[in-house]
Amino acid sequence: MTTIVFSDRDGTINKDENYFLGSKPNWRDQVSFLEGVIEGIRMINTIPDSYFFIVTNQAGIALQGPEFDLLTEKRLEEVNDYILEELKKRSAKVDGLYSCPYIDLDYVKRSVERGRSTNPDYVKDNHPDLKPNIGMIEKALQSLNLDRNDCDIYMIGDRITDVKMGLNAGGTGILVESSKTRERGDVEKVQSLQGKTYIARNFLDAAEFILKNTNS
């Protein structure tokens, strides 16, 4: 069976300090890979008949105001390409990257509470690509001409929506624990979910868990 590993981007692959990565002129200086990520991706790359994809929600595209003027879909592509190139330089192979720039009505509400405005063109409630929906996973599988019933799917991320995305795809959802996951209460929420889940100390621990499962 083909193993497909998906990973979130910000806060899972690279550091996320509420940058809205790409919104600043010096955004390249803000790209820093988290501990264990390079080694973990290399480990996943060693799994026979496997693929590794990054899937990311990028709500910053939908935000309006001077601080977000630079964060366009074109800039998003530049950031994604830069991250992929930096990973490639480190021999960490990524088979593809999919992004979702849309937000739902709940995000609009939370943005208003924070004094932020949103672009209505990007408000798509329950868009198939919005996590925990599995549109981005399905796009990746279509690119490989694979059916998810014929795949062993893992989804790694730092939010409960990442874990639910993995479960919704019929796979395993892996939460990478961090200070933010604890602040949000995501650890406890994941522990209460039904289905195959794992709470990892970091990305490398998640990769080791996947490797162990594929070898068992």
What's the pLDDT score for residue 113?
94
Q: Which residues pair with 117 in a beta bridge?
A: 64
Kind of pairing, strands 63-64 and 117-118? antiparallel
Confidence of residue 127 (pLDDT cuts 50, 70, 90): very high
What's the pLDDT score for residue 182?
82
Given a cut of 80, is residue 187 above it in pLDDT?
yes
What's the pLDDT score for residue 19?
82
What's the pLDDT score for residue 133?
98
pLDDT in tens, 27-74: 999 999 999 999 999 999 999 999 999 999 999 999 999 999 999 999
Given a cut of 80, is residue 103 above it in pLDDT?
yes
Given a cut of 80, is residue 179 above it in pLDDT?
no
What's the pLDDT score for residue 184?
86
Segments in the chain forming alpha helices (H): 37-45, 73-89, 105-113, 135-143, 160-168, 179-184, 186-191, 203-215
Distance from CA of residue 34 to its chain's centroid? 14
Structure pTM? 0.96
Determine the average pLDDT of the residues in 156-182. 94
Domains of the chain: residue spans and CATH = 2-215 (3.40.50.1000)
Q: Which two tokens stand for residue 44?
A: 């996943």
Confidence of residue 143 (pLDDT cuts 50, 70, 90): very high
CB 4 within 8 A of CB 141: yes
Confidence of residue 117 (pLDDT cuts 50, 70, 90): very high
Question: Exposed, middle or buried, 96 (CB in 10 Å: 0-12/13-18/19+)?
Answer: middle
Question: Exposed, middle or buried, 81 (CB in 10 Å: 0-12/13-18/19+)?
Answer: exposed
Q: Which two tokens stand for residue 143?
A: 């690119």
Determine the average pLDDT of the residues in 133-142. 98
Q: Which two tokens stand for residue 82?
A: 């830069």
φ, ψ at 186 (rounded to 5°): -65, -30
pLDDT above 70 as % of the chain: 100
Mean pLDDT of the chain: 95
